């Protein structure tokens, strides 16, 4: 398990569930990825981007057009908010909004 830092606390526990709001709809999903990205929090944010934002960007492209590489995403600009995750201990941890701006 990765060590990560948020809200002034250090954790070395596995993230088991994530909760977020996307376009006004609350979602809660089981999360079983380990070391998915820069750290566990970034892995959670990349997971959200993969299931919500990236499909929207791909569908929005014109058929046959060359797609530009997708760089850093601002999840807030795609109506993602209220991201939090649950640790194996049962504790829920809020992800700071500024983390959503550079995924």
Each residue's pLDDT expressed in tens, for the chain with a length of 103 residues: 334 445 444 556 788 999 999 999 999 999 987 654 457 888 899 899 988 887 666 555 566 666 555 567 889 999 999 999 998 899 999 999 999 998 8
In a domain, 53, yes or no: yes
In a domain, 1, yes or no: no
In a domain, 6, yes or no: no
Within 10 A of 86 (CB to CB), how many other CB atoms are there?
19
Residues 3 and 89: beta-carbon distance below 8 Å: no
In a domain, 4, yes or no: no
In a domain, 52, yes or no: yes
In a domain, 54, yes or no: yes
Give the total number of structural domains in the chain.
Answer: 1
In a domain, 3, yes or no: no
pLDDT tens digits for range 36-52:
445 788 889 989 998 88
| Global confidence as pTM | 0.73
Domain that holds residue 82: 13-101
CA distances from 49 to 4, 17, 45 (A): 19, 16, 6
């Amino acid at each position: 398990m990765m060590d990560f830092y948020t809200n002034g606390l250090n954790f070395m526990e596995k993230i088991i569930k994530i909760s977020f709001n996307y376009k006004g709809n609350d979602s809660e999903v089981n999360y079983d990825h380990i070391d998915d990205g820069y750290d566990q929090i970034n892995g959670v944010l990349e997971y959200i981007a993969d299931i919500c934002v990236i499909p929207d960007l791909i569908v929005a492209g014109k058929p046959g057009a060359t797609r530009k590489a997708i760089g850093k995403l601002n999840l807030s600009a795609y109506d993602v908010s209220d991201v939090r995750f649950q640790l194996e201990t049962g504790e829920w941890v809020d992800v700071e909004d500024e983390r959503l701006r550079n995924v």
